[in-house]
Structure 1
């Protein structure tokens, strides 16, 4: 019985209620009544919280928001530990390209790819935040998104694979001749990517990257252009680069309040982009994470972003605060790398050695991924951001492990680099992620 009813209902055993009320309650009785009251309150709160709708993004697995971020950490930390390379990477682009590959994989090959993409099944992958956003990108003024598949004329794509990629990713499929026309096929893929990124990403497939052993090539291209909600003023400010040198860099500043939050070891800045369409549901912003001097390193922030569920969403400021000194440098650079070594380090091995891609190509069970090329570019100034990225996956006949190149490792100690991310607010999907150690470096 509810404790409040126990207090208010009259006695039912025939006793005089006034006389009963006058009887003093023992300490034991008071304790029992207090426990019952607390239990009733707890039960009511539990029911309310259970019935309450989930918060933003709670309908998705937390790991899905971190899809491909471990790969960004591997490459980003290596770039920061070298000669001061700036770094930019598109988790959304590589997620889309590998999700198409996973749709054609079977058995352990698919399970490894799904684990890498943060999903336990293909159905869960198709309903992940990144995939939900993919279906809307071409309808937005800030973005464009394109996928393509090129299959050698000796093979044929399975109808169900082609249908899935077409419906989920709007992928176009084309038959090409990798045996006698490998160079022409390479140029067709590069042309597709260049057109889809408004010529910002060119020659993502280097010469010799496809040949007569190539069976299938899958590509994704992503373009983003966003204007700040409020443009910034520009002035020249000092920036410390590796080696103790200080240089003057064009930087953004403002006296307007900003979304800033302080956390142990670092501070966060959220820069919203303007919505160009009335009632557009998708909103984008740039998040900048700046380590406090002498505390966290760039590698520490990468580790936090990967190991802490929903780190980016949870560390995005939600309130504007007055600002004193405010400076964010302008930057413009491109970064490209080949991801197969890092993917294998992160647990994707079967896809590179006799993988099962029987769901992709009819009558072919000897395909393996040979290369995963990724290239991204970003320009940030006082008006906004223009960024593009592309991912190309090359599948060949036979194992590709013997052709793997070791990662290029170099050493570097950064001064005070910062991380940045371009994020879609509703899904929490990360379109671009990277860091800046020298704003003047291209």
Structure 2
């Protein structure tokens, strides 16, 4: 779940963490007339796909939607590196949801505020109008393709404004047309009623997986606007794990403690690769004798039903390598790893896990370069025609559960590779690993780290 809370800097602001228990849901559908601020409804366009790993978008002759997806992936990896450095233990977040909520807010930013946000989000190379149209095509393509009983990814956006507050027509139209963000007026002075209204909407969009998202007393008379994004994900594995082959197995945590956790087992042909962090060492494509050092990183991609979504597992060989990977992780490296995968028969051992993470993003986003948006000098005049708004905080919470059937809440990608002259490689996730949910076209949607699969946080 993703919230952006807008402040009026001149007024007293009370900021509290917003908590929830599940990752949000579903594409914004029809609303009653009283809910609508925008003249256009958000209906998915026709999509034309091409190839196993690429896609073309109808109405995207310049390839801007694909470029937006690529830049979202860069932001995802950069944000992961920041979060990983500040987070102990397990970690999970949905960068696609964060990008979406901030993109809507960015639609109202001007001047240096816009420039800083655009730099962090990798938006500056796009004219604003083109950006939002292209971002909208990415989201609509994603949700229209992933609308199956065995693989679903839904997105909902909503803007909540103070009753009587001015909102620029251009801003309303942009977020409505591109992001399907319906708007609703509330009286934030009645904190309890406003909170109940938003929480009820979230519960509906998440199929009751997130309840009481906003705790009491967070909203008040100093809150002119809240921008809310909700994601929901549920998908079956293309090749499900047999529960009869799940049994307790050892796992060494990040603290080097040996624990026992339910672990799934399967042998199959998946996309897989082995890689070194030191470029002078031979890549996985080279035939290596058994006495050569083991690779620094194994990468496994496990597809979900339909083949569009997958979970990618990045398994460093030890704790020291995990730290190296996270410190040096960059978008180009991830892209090279994914590009180096090939179909191999692999013996896989993956622990079942259920993670929930919650973040207040103000500090990290400020460190990344968009601090002005959170300051009294912010310029969001594109929202209300005045320079009296700033972002109070960006609250994010995400959850993912992975089991024999598949994943719910969010997902990651798993890749498999084998050198054919050797025995089947063993991908045994019995130590901390990274994972990501990846769409063949939209790129990285969620990322995380499992340090202890027996813990939920």
* TM-score interval, normalised by the smaller of the two chains: 0.7 to 0.9
Equivalents in 2 of 1:71, 1:156: separation in Å?
Answer: 33
Identify the residue that residue 249 of structure 2 maps to in structure 1. 237
Aligned-partner SS, 1:125? helix
Equivalents in 2 of 1:365, 1:269: separation in Å?
Answer: 48
What displacement does 1:167 show? 0.9
CA contact 2:203–2:211 (8 Å) conserved in 1: yes
CA contact 2:191–2:216 (8 Å) conserved in 1: no
Alignment size in residue pairs: 347
Q: Which has the larger radius of gyration?
A: 1
Identify the residue that residue 450 of structure 2 maps to in structure 1. 436
Give RMSD over aligned pairs: 2.5
What displacement does 1:149 show? 0.3
Aligned-partner SS, 1:287? strand
Identify the residue that residue 342 of structure 1 maps to in structure 2. 364
CA contact 2:78–2:331 (8 Å) conserved in 1: no
Change (3 A) 1:243 1:91: closer
CA contact 1:190–1:202 (8 Å) conserved in 2: yes
Equivalents in 1 of 2:395, 2:201: separation in Å?
Answer: 15
Change (3 A) 1:203 1:369: same
CA contact 1:64–1:119 (8 Å) conserved in 2: no
Equivalents in 2 of 1:310, 1:158: separation in Å?
Answer: 42
Identify the residue that residue 394 of structure 1 maps to in structure 2. none
Equivalents in 2 of 1:260, 1:377: separation in Å?
Answer: 26
- The more displaced of 251-260 and 88-97 is 251-260
What displacement does 1:348 show? 0.7
Aligned-partner SS, 1:60? helix
Equivalents in 1 of 2:357, 2:255: separation in Å?
Answer: 22
Equivalents in 2 of 1:164, 1:243: separation in Å?
Answer: 48
Which of these residues, 219, 242, 247, is aligned with residue 259 of structure 2? 247
Is 2:62 aligned against 1:60?
A: no
Which of these residues, 179, 195, 200, is aligned with residue 169 of structure 1? 179
The two structures have a TM-score, normalised by structure 2, of: 0.71
Identify the residue that residue 136 of structure 1 maps to in structure 2. 141
What displacement does 1:215 show? 0.8
Equivalents in 2 of 1:146, 1:108: separation in Å?
Answer: 29
Identify the residue that residue 105 of structure 1 maps to in structure 2. 109
CA contact 1:273–1:283 (8 Å) conserved in 2: yes
Which of these residues, 352, 360, 369, is aligned with residue 330 of structure 1? 352
Aligned-partner SS, 1:360? helix
Equivalents in 2 of 1:422, 1:249: separation in Å?
Answer: 22
Identify the residue that residue 438 of structure 2 maps to in structure 1. 423
Is 2:397 aligned against 1:375?
A: yes
Change (3 A) 1:176 1:158: same
Equivalents in 1 of 2:381, 2:321: separation in Å?
Answer: 46
What displacement does 1:295 show? 4.6
Equivalents in 1 of 2:77, 2:210: separation in Å?
Answer: 21
- The more displaced of 193-202 and 226-235 is 193-202
Note the 1:253-402 alignment, pairs <5 A: 253-264=265-276, 265-275=296-306, 283-293=308-318, 295-298=320-323, 300-305=324-329, 307-309=330-332, 311-312=334-335, 314-315=337-338, 318-324=341-347, 326-354=348-376, 355-362=378-385, 364-387=386-409
CA contact 1:332–1:380 (8 Å) conserved in 2: yes
What displacement does 1:148 show? 0.3
What displacement does 1:385 show? 0.6
**Cα deviation code 1:80-124 (max 9, x no counterpart):** 3xxx2x111000001000000000111111111111111113245
Aligned-partner SS, 2:369? coil
CA contact 2:251–2:431 (8 Å) conserved in 1: no
What displacement does 1:333 show? 1.7
Change (3 A) 1:131 1:304: farther
Aligned-partner SS, 2:267? coil
Equivalents in 2 of 1:271, 1:94: separation in Å?
Answer: 25
Equivalents in 2 of 1:294, 1:68: separation in Å?
Answer: 23
CA contact 1:304–1:311 (8 Å) conserved in 2: no
Is 2:137 aligned against 1:125?
A: no
What displacement does 1:417 show? 1.4
Aligned-partner SS, 1:209? coil
Change (3 A) 1:169 1:185: same
The two structures have a TM-score, normalised by structure 1, of: 0.73
Is 2:222 aligned against 1:222?
A: no
Equivalents in 2 of 1:358, 1:294: separation in Å?
Answer: 48
Structure 2 spans left out of the alignment, 5+ residues: 1-52, 56-62, 277-295, 412-429
Equivalents in 1 of 2:119, 2:136: separation in Å?
Answer: 15
Structure 1 segments of 4 or more deviating over 6 A?
Answer: none
Greater RCO, 1 or 2 (C-alpha within 8 Å, sep 6+): 2
Equivalents in 2 of 1:340, 1:75: separation in Å?
Answer: 12
Equivalents in 1 of 2:326, 2:256: separation in Å?
Answer: 24
What displacement does 1:365 show? 2.1
Structure 1 spans left out of the alignment, 5+ residues: 1-54, 276-281, 390-414
